[in-house]
């Protein structure tokens, strides 16, 4: 197993790695809409969703992969009414292979400002 961490994505908010590689799989921890360069959460569900995807892309790249190699995701929404907006933005990041996915409405996320969290499982290139 190999731990993956990059300073281009938000630091873990707890005792975990941004991703782990094991047996050719990359297990990405959930990312939220925190912009590390600005040191703040993006405002609104649309901007947060784009930031989540950018954060995940950065972690995948550090692990030697990309969105074309994602096989499974989970989306956690603070407000399930944001499903359509998040779905549209999320879908724009997957041109060919659409990974398997679950979406769950939750009452809270680890940070009060977070509106969406997404985790991913990918394979190495």
| Residue partners of 91: CB distance under 8 A and separation at least 6 | 98
Task: Provide the number of structural domains found in the chain.
Answer: 1
Token pair of 6 as six digits = 């990059």
Q: Does 28 score more than 90 pLDDT?
A: yes
Token pair of 102 as six digits = 């679950």
Average pLDDT of the chain, as a whole number: 96
Q: Is the pTM of this model over 0.85?
A: yes
Token pair of 93 as six digits = 């990041």
More confident residue, 50 or 12: 50
Domain that holds residue 43: 2-123
CATH, residue 105 = 3.30.1330.40
Decide: 55 and 31 in contact? Cβ < 8 Å.
Answer: yes
Q: How many whole angstroms separate alpha carbon 31 and alpha carbon 80?
A: 18
């Amino acid at each position: 197993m190999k731990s993956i961490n990059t300073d281009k994505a938000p630091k873990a908010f707890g005792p975990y790695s941004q991703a782990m590689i094991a047996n050719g799989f990359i297990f990405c921890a959930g990312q939220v809409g925190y912009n590390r360069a600005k040191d703040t959460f993006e405002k609104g569900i649309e901007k947060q969703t784009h930031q989540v995807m950018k954060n995940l892309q950065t972690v995948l790249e550090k692990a030697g992969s990309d969105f074309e190699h994602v096989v499974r995701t989970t989306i956690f929404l603070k407000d399930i009414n944001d499903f359509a907006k998040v779905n549209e933005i999320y879908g724009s990041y997957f041109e060919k292979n659409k990974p398997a996915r679950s979406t769950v409405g939750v009452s809270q996320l680890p940070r009060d400002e977070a509106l969406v969290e997404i985790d991913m499982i990918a394979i190495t290139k």
